[in-house]
Structure 1
Amino acid sequence: MSKKILIYCGSSKGNNPVYEEEVKRLAQELKKHDCSIIFGAGSVGLMGVMADEYLRLGGEVIGVIPSFMEPWEVKHLGIQTCHVTESMHERKQLMAEMADGVIAMPGGFGTFDELFEMLTWKQLDLHQMPIAIFNTAGYYDLLLQQLQHMIQEGFLKERNLTALHVESDAAKLADWMMDYVPEKMEKKWIYRA
């Protein structure tokens, strides 16, 4: 079955060329499953690398960009479909509504914002999509340590951390996305002695 995979990633390429190489590798693995890619419609950074590679492979690429970003001339002009929204909130909502799964690759504030919003929505049972981190070159290792600290300190339920899959191998990540079975989330606001 073809799936639409929502990709969150940086508008820069980072300092290590491995990020760009692994983004291309993930694009190739997702294309084997005939997925469509949903992304932030950018032509720069890892966003642009992902879109360019997926288009080169003959895949469908769907972009979503807020109207205020259009004058910045970063919108990818080669993608098949581009939705323009009025706000960032509408952008994120539309991307989520179209998606069957979410992958966060290396990125900055925007990537983290989008990833944590999707995890929060899943914790609240607003969706049942798979959410994964593509942990290229250990990029997310320190974040994963922070998440464990949140569990130890009582601010995150360990069961809910299972909503986040971590993978550093592109082929395994693509396969996991295709074979995903939703996990049971624990309601954060229910506390029993």
Structure 2
Amino acid sequence: MTETETLTAVSTVCVYCGSSFGKDTKYAREARKLGELLYQLNWKLVYGGGTTGLMGEIAKATMGPDGQGSVHGIIPSALVSKERDDDKDVGAVNEEIKKSVENHHGWTPISQEYGRTTVVPDMHTRKRLMATEADAFVAMPGGYGTLEEIMECITWSQLGIHNKPVVLFNIDGFYDSLLEFVGNAIQAGFISEKNGRIIQVASTADEVVEKIQKYVVPEGRFNLNWSDEGGNGK
């Protein structure tokens, strides 16, 4: 298998990111910048369906000032905010969610202001639909869920399940420690140097778009038969 530019035309980008804002306003600022670029390029955003934190920022920005952008949020029913006996004022709780990750209960309201939302029964369905719909994957800063989701996409590429671009939006060095781990794993012989190139790194929103557009599928990946995953390279 030789290295070639990805043959998939980009029209939909899957972005994984936190449902919290983080402690620095730069994360939300960069999420808005990326969303604005997606809107300008007329690219569709598929994401985890949250309306708080970085999720909400990029979704709202991608919808654009006229609300005519294309955004598809996919969220498990357990994460959707509902009226509960111990939750008499959902609006007030949502304000608390915005203030600090310590007040984030894991669930979020949904709103048409953030695009179209599909509610699914579980996390596995969510991840599969997001991956199937996307032409490229981007990870912004986030927590356990963001890391798990982007690592799965990287592994799928290594196994030959897909050949889509994978980009880490490394805002202010957020992913430096992960990249150090990858480098150490390459040096230790657990990841090949060629498979190390599955991951592309960007530090600005403009660079994220550039890395997607110029993505080269690395050689040396597994070329197995994944018929039950929708076919190799899909």
TM-score of the aligned structures, taking structure 1 as reference length: 0.91
Residues 124, 187 of structure 1: 8 Å contact kept: yes
Q: 2:14 aligns with which of 6, 13, 21?
A: 6
Q: List gaps (5 residues or longer) in structure 1.
A: none
CA shift at 1:187, angstroms? 3.3
Taking the aligned partners of 1:98 and 1:14, their CA distance within structure 2 comes to 28
Amino acid across the alignment from 1:63? G
- State which drifts further: 146-155 or 50-59: 50-59
The residue type equivalent to 2:135 in the other structure is: D
Instruction: Tell me which of 12, 28, 33 is aligned to 2:36.
Output: 28
Deviation >4 Å, runs of 4+: none
Deviation at 1:24, TM superposition (A): 1.0
The alignment covers a number of residue pairs equal to 189
Q: Distance in 2 between matches of 1:106 and 1:80?
A: 21
1:69 matched to which residue of 2? Answer: 79
Partner Cα separation in structure 1 for residue 126 and residue 217 of structure 2: 25
Contact 2:39 2:64 in 1 (8 A): no
Cα distance in 2 between the residues matched to 1:54 and 1:30: 6
**Which stretch of structure 1 is more off in the superposition, 106-115 or 155-164?**
155-164
Question: 2:54 is aligned with what amino acid?
Answer: L
Residue 181 (structure 1) shift = 3.6
Q: Find out whether 1:96 has 2:106 as its counterpart.
A: no
Higher mean Cα deviation, 96-105 or 29-38? Answer: 29-38
Per-residue displacement from partner, 1:138-168 (whole Å, max 9, x unpaired)?
1001111111111111111111010100010
Instruction: Select the structure of larger CA radius of gyration.
Output: 2
Partner Cα separation in structure 1 for residue 61 and residue 201 of structure 2: 23
1:15 aligned residue: 23
After TM superposition, the structure 1 stretch with the greater mean CA deviation from structure 2, 133-142 or 66-75, is 66-75
| 8 Å Cα contact 1:163-1:183 kept in structure 2 | yes
Question: What TM-score, normalized by structure 2, do the two folds share?
Answer: 0.75
Deviation (angstroms), 1:97: 0.4
Give the gaps of 5 or more residues in structure 2. 1-8, 83-106, 225-234
Question: By how many angstroms is 1:76 displaced?
Answer: 2.7
State how far apart, in whole Å, the 2-side matches of 1:33 and 1:182 are.
Answer: 23
Task: Tell me the equivalent position of 1:39.
Answer: 47
* Shift of residue 188, structure 1, vs aligned partner: 10
Aligned equivalents of 1:179 and 1:35: distance in 2?
Answer: 16
Which residue identity lines up with residue 197 of structure 2 in the other structure? Answer: T
**1:6–1:99 Cα contact (<8 Å) kept:** yes
Q: Is the 8 A contact 2:37 2:62 kept in 1?
A: no
Considering only aligned residues, what root-mean-square deviation do their CA atoms show, in Å?
1.9
For the residue of structure 2 that corresponds to 1:59, the secondary structure is: coil
Query: Do 2:202 and 2:211's aligned partners in 1 also have CA atoms closer than 8 Å?
Result: no
- Assess, with a 3 A threshold, how the Cα gap between structure 1 residues 30 and 185 changes in structure 2: closer, same or farther: farther
1:119–1:163 Cα contact (<8 Å) kept: yes
> Which of 38, 45, 63 pairs up with 1:55?
63
* Aligned AA (1:76): I
Shift in Å at residue 2 of structure 1? 5.7
Q: Which stretch shows the higher mean deviation, 83-92 or 98-107?
A: 83-92
Quote the offset at 1:13 in angstroms.
0.7
Q: Show the counterpart of 1:131.
A: 166
**2:160/2:223 contact within 8 Å kept:** no
Matched residue of 1:12: which SS?
coil
